[in-house]
A and B are shown apart, each in its own frame.
Chain A
């Protein structure tokens, strides 16, 4: 078994992208050193390991740094492929898993800026943001269909890519006074099923802690 020092994850606790790696490493039973970054005071290690984007998460494995969360996820899945494989083995199904994980990331900018408008916005713009936000999750709900998980009977690549964002749902709902469950019941049911899995629930912060962080952010931005 590899020593803990060989696998290091540079992370930031409320980051949905960091949560992805925590889940994958937990599912595969990989021990690693978790290093918390202060994004307002980035460490020399982070700046060195991700000199192009200077962002977390970064996985450092045997001295090599891997950046960009979906790329890290594929790397983890390939290196430790015998333990809880996340990507399906059939090429067509793999292509679909990659497509939907990529969709989540393409929409992230929208979710992030839309999400930001949801928890920090007001009035008409907030309403518009809520609508856009729900549409993205409705599309994903459509892709889930009647499956237990996006990966079928077990968690797959898309499940791990998506479930971290659900830890932010309570914050969006509370700030903007709406119920994501009412609009996307199947998706919320899926999220609850994921949370029954220890590797997921241990990797995600409690939604109330995210909410406290959001309130802090709002205060910092002068929006409370």
Chain B
């Protein structure tokens, strides 16, 4: 669709960039993808996101929007064609935002903590915290989806995109640590949602395969330590 000039600055492996890609696809917005080099940040990135110097940055008619959750809401409001990303009811919206904040501020940082934890004992301690969070998310899914396939209802919505975008990296961590983070015996509804989300037409070519992310991580570690 003719959406004006839309560009996305990012890297294919970033789950936060994937969020924006998914949202743009939901709204059928074509955009130009500008590949960033995180080991040698471009002038464009430093100028368009001087506060955090991070990707993703969405450019709409050359105006930058930063922070993935802010971008998702922008996409929802600016191009109102196609299914809504956020619920229209204020309370449902607040609930989606609450869990999105929980994911970004509490749950996903634990996955990073797991990656950085050294030794079996430390890793087990972090995993316990993640499992506690998983139970909350399982409960939340059951309550919010109300029997429908996604957090957003019949189609992928805000919370599906926010949590779903992280699944590639979560599974990559499972491979690297040889642990089960998303235990289908403890979170059966979410496990089914996971399969549904990752195989969805809109999502499947955007979320990278976990094995590829493991490769990326190992290469990044090498280059990072070489510097």
Using a CB–CB cutoff of 8 Å, the interface residues on chain A facing chain B are 52, 61, 64, 66-68, 71-72, 74-75, 78-79, 91-92, 94-96, 98-99, 102-103, 139
Interface residues of B in 62-114 (CB under 8 A from A): 63, 65-67, 69-71, 73-74, 77-78, 90-91, 93-94, 97-98, 101-102
CA distance A68 to B94 in the complex (A): 9
Contact yes or no, A66 B77, CB < 8 A: no
Asked whether A72 and B94 contact (CB < 8 A) given A95-B65, A99-B66, the answer is: yes
Contacts of A79 in B (CB 8 A): 90
Contact between A99 and B94, CB atoms less than 8 A apart: no
Question: How long is the Cα–Cα vector from A66 to B99 in the complex, in angstroms?
Answer: 11
Give me the 9 closest cross-chain CB pairs, A-B, nearest first.
A91-B77, A78-B90, A95-B74, A91-B78, A75-B94, A66-B94, A71-B97, A95-B65, A98-B70
Give the dominant DSSP class at B's interface: helix
Knowing A71-B98, A102-B67 are in contact, say whether A66-B91 is a contact too (CB < 8 A): yes
Chain A residues in 8 Å Cβ range of B101: 68, 71
Q: Name the residue in B66, B70, B77 with the highest tally of chain A Cβ atoms < 10 Å from its Cβ.
A: B70
Docked pose: A78 CA to B87 CA in angstroms: 12
- Asked if A68 and B97 make an inter-chain contact with CB atoms under 8 angstroms apart, the answer reads yes
Q: Are B91 and A64 in contact (CB under 8 A)?
A: yes
| B60 adjacent to chain A (CB < 8 Å) | yes
Q: Return the contact of B74 from the options A61, A71, A72, A92 (Cβ within 8 A).
A: A92
B51 within 8 A of A: yes
Complex Cα–Cα for A211 and B65 (A): 38
- Contact at B66–A68, with CB atoms within 8 Å? no
B104 CB, nearest partner CB in chain A, Å: 10
Contact between B66 and A78, CB atoms less than 8 A apart: no
Which residues of A are found within 8 Å of B98, using beta-carbon distances? 52, 66-68, 71
Give the chain B neighbours of A99 by CB distance below 8 A: 65-67, 70
**B136 at the A interface (CB under 8 A):** yes
For B58, give the chain A residue with the smallest CB separation.
A95
Cα–Cα, bound, A154→B28 (Å): 36
With both beta carbons as reference points, the residue of chain A lying nearest to B101 in the complex is identified as A68
User: Is B70 within 8 A of A102, CB to CB?
Assistant: yes
Q: Which of A52, A72, A78, A99 has the most CB of B within 10 A?
A: A99
Pick from A67, A95, A103: contact of B73, CB below 8 A.
A95
**Distance to closest chain B CB from A17 (angstroms):** 13
- Whether A94 and B94, one on each chain, are in contact in the complex, defined by CB atoms closer than 8 angstroms, is no
For B51, list chain A residues within 8 Å (CB): 103, 139
